[in-house]
């Protein structure tokens, strides 16, 4: 169905010509799910944009061919390409906040796609839109169809994007991180829906994701990308059973789970190199634990190993395979460390008692209040110094609202009752200077980094703004040293400080958001899906960083997430929310291994799992 040959994509950037995709070859059969995985910035999303001919203005396809059912996509005029997009090729974009029109109702946007690519019109198209909203798990679709995107949570906006794409019933689907913002139950529902469509329509699927558990459960074949090149292609079974490329092995070792509690995840040292460089040898060599001298001078081709291909000199005929280098960061990071609990204080840092949040429902031309919607209803929990509480539950259950209420971001939008005692002060009664001081001790990492970063400010200014407001004792030199250390810690190059948010991938923007929260050395950080947009290796770096800060500074975390693997690794206690109320709470081991509520059991049953062979 899809055939890509020697594809090259270049971007004209200030630093030089960026070779975003360098000689890609891959083919996808009808009805096949082909997963494209790799670190943020390796070229996965650029591949998707090239297939749709939606490259940015400074981007161009300089070589190669793209064929859909034998038709050359690159030879089509733009007038015919419009019919291909959405009709023959559908795409679920990575960031729904930037893909949905903020001034159009979500139903109008879905209907627009249906009318553009099918014969349905008017009431029939609207009925089809409601049907697809129900299929992707949006509650009360008859009512929600007339809402605007800003009234929906991140997960609900992602479902709207999926409904809009699938409603046109394309022949081939590109899914760029389709389940990133979704909780596990809706994720399972969406993945089952995609499988059903494949069976019924023979739809081909290019799945771009960093969630290796989803890949293990969905994909027939897997391609691993690094720095603009595909470095390993294998069946999903072979890839997870016996990865060949050193990068693939290190990725699987970086996955968090309960067995790694009290230790540090095997994060891959360094970052993906800038793609404007003139590479001489293997692009992964500076980070590889099996590197040898020739790796720095000889660029490896893709070696055919029969059932798979691998871009690594280790598999050159007659090559002696060296053992992993001792003392590498990846190996050293697997050593056990002192658990965070050893530095935990006995005092309660935050005590939330009977927290309720109600939003007014307005209607009519004058927007008069007609009622109230209860998003959080009587929630209570405690966080001690140096402790991590995980808040889990389905999208729309009130997790993010709880976090925002604690950080005082809903004062003028909702009616908040209850208490949130922080260091002996009720946060809901503070104002003026006491509130400013409290905000320097409580920070939040938002779920959507694109919406929370000012697009008109450079990264340096974004990070420095918080230091100037909340840490006035630092001079200019102290602020710069602080920020350079921060970008190193979150896995970004220092030249990132002089760039704008739109110049980064979704995962890289999330690292910037995390650095901003860490900049003022808070006592409590509300982490709202902080690793949902991150690939496995960067997720390991960030989780290691958060655990290290917890050990050194005693910082506490309210960790809002749907990633149960992260909960197993990082949390001390877990609170399960359902429809604004606490369904179940307790220690991680008790709740995850012996749940008492049916809702918790259903939630855990939907979690995709991946079996990593011992010794990988």
What are the DSSP E strand ranges found in 39-180? 59-68, 71-72, 89-92, 172-176
Q: Are 120 and 110 in contact (CB under 8 A)?
A: no
* Maximum mean pLDDT: which of 221-225, 321-325, 436-440: 221-225
How much is the pLDDT for 536? 82
How much is the pLDDT for 350? 94
DSSP summary character for residue 100: S
Q: What is the number of other CB atoms lying within 10 angstroms of the CB of residue 83?
A: 12
| pLDDT tier at 613, thresholds 50, 70, 90 | low
Give the end of a domain, one of 161, 193, 219: 219
How much is the pLDDT for 545? 80
Distance CA 402, CA 343 (A): 26
> Is 146 within the bounds of a domain?
yes
CA–CA distance from 162 to each of 141, 203, 497 (Å)?
Answer: 14, 15, 34
> Is 249 within the bounds of a domain?
no
User: Who's near 346: CB < 8 A, 6+ residues apart?
Assistant: 384
User: Who's near 307: CB < 8 A, 6+ residues apart?
Assistant: 234, 235, 238
> Is 169 within the bounds of a domain?
yes
Give the end of a domain, one of 161, 185, 219: 219
Mean pLDDT of 492-509: 84
Q: Which residues of 281-297 are buried (b: 16+ CB within 10 A; e: fewer)?
A: bbbbbebbbbbeeebee
- Whether 187 shows a pLDDT value over 70: the answer reads yes
* Better-predicted residue by pLDDT, 427 or 473: 427
For residue 23, which of 238, 304, 229 has the smallest C-alpha distance? Answer: 229
Q: Are 358 and 414 in contact (CB under 8 A)?
A: yes
For residue 53 the two structure tokens come to 């001919």
Q: Could you give the number of structural domains in the chain?
A: 2
> Is 469 within the bounds of a domain?
yes
Render 444-460 in DSSP notation, one character per residue.
EE-S-HHHHS-TTS-HH
How much is the pLDDT for 405? 94
- Whether 493 shows a pLDDT value over 90: the answer reads no
pLDDT digits (tens, 9 = 90+) for 580-604: 999 999 999 999 999 999 999 988 8
Give the end of a domain, one of 219, 236, 259: 219
> Is 405 within the bounds of a domain?
yes
- Whether 492 shows a pLDDT value over 90: the answer reads no
How much is the pLDDT for 157? 87
> Is 492 within the bounds of a domain?
yes
Residue 506: give the domain boundaries: 385-410+428-605
Mean pLDDT of 290-312: 92
> Is 397 within the bounds of a domain?
yes
- Whether 343 shows a pLDDT value over 50: the answer reads no
Q: Are 607 and 564 in contact (CB under 8 A)?
A: yes
Find the CATH number of the domain harbouring 485: 3.40.50.300
The H-or-E segment that residue 301 falls in is: none
How much is the pLDDT for 325? 56
How much is the pLDDT for 222? 96
> Is 63 within the bounds of a domain?
yes
């Amino acid at each position: 169905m899809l055939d890509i040959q020697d594809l090259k994509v270049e971007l004209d950037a200030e630093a030089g010509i960026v070779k975003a995709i360098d000689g890609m070859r891959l083919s996808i059969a009808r009805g096949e799910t082909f997963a494209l995985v790799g670190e943020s910035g390796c070229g996965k999303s650029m591949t998707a944009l090239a297939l749709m001919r939606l490259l940015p203005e400074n981007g161009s396809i300089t070589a190669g061919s793209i064929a859909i059912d034998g038709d050359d996509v690159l030879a089509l005029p733009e007038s015919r390409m419009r019919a291909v997009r959405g009709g023959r090729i559908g795409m679920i974009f990575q960031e729904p906040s930037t893909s949905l029109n903020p001034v159009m109702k979500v139903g109008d946007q879905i209907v627009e796609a249906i009318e553009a690519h099918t014969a349905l019109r008017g009431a029939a198209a609207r009925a089809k839109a409601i049907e697809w909203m129900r299929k992707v798990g949006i509650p009360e679709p008859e009512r929600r169809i007339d809402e605007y995107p800003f009234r929906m949570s991140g997960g609900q906006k992602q479902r709207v994007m999926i409904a809009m794409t699938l409603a046109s019933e394309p022949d081939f689907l590109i899914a760029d991180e389709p389940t990133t913002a979704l909780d596990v139950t809706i994720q399972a529902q969406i993945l089952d829906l995609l499988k059903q469509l494949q069976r019924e329509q023979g739809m081909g699927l290019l799945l771009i994701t960093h969630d290796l558990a989803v890949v293990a459960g969905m994909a027939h074949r897997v391609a691993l990308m690094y720095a603009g090149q595909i470095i390993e292609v294998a069946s999903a079974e072979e890839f997870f059973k016996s990865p060949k490329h050193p990068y693939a092995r290190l990725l699987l070792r970086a996955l968090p789970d309960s067995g790694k509690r009290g230790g540090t995840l095997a994060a891959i040292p360094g970052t993906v190199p800038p793609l404007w460089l003139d590479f001489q040898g293997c692009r992964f060599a500076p980070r590889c634990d099996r590197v040898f001298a020739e790796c720095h001078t000889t660029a490896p081709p893709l070696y055919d190993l029969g059932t798979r291909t691998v871009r690594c000199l280790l598999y050159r005929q007659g090559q002696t395979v060296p053992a992993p280098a001792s003392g590498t960061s990846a190996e050293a990071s697997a050593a056990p460390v002192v658990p965070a609990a050893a530095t935990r204080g006995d005092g309660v840092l935050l005590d939330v008692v009977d927290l309720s949040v109600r939003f007014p429902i307005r209607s009519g031309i004058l927007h008069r209040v007609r009622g109230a919607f209860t998003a959080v209803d009587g929630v209570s929990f405690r966080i001690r110094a140096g402790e991590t509480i995980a808040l889990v539950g389905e999208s729309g259950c009130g997790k993010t609202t709880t976090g925002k209420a604690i950080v005082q971001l809903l004062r003028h939008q909702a009616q908040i009752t209850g208490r949130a005692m922080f260091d002996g002060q009720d946060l809901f009664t503070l104002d003026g200077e006491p509130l400013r001081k409290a905000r320097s001790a409580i920070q939040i990492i938002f779920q959507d980094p694109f919406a929370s970063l000012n697009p008109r400010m450079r990264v340096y200014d974004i990070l420095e703004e918080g230091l100037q407001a909340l840490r006035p004792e630092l001079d200019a030199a102290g602020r710069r040293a602080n920020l350079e250390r921060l970008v190193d810690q979150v896995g970004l190059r220092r030249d990132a400080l002089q760039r704008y948010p739109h110049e980064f991938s979704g995962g890289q923007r999330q690292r910037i958001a995390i650095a901003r929260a860490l900049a003022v050395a808070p006592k409590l950080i509300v982490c709202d899906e902080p690793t949902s947009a991150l690939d496995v290796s960067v997720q390991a770096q960030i989780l290691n960083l958060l655990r290290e800060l917890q050990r050194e500074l005693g910082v506490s975390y309210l960790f809002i997430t749907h990633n149960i693997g992260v909960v197993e690794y990082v949390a001390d206690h877990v609170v399960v929310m359902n429809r604004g109320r606490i369904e179940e709470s307790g220690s991680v081991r008790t709740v995850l291994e012996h749940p008492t509520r049916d809702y918790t059991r259903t939630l855990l049953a939907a979690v995709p799992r991946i079996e990593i062979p011992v010794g990988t």
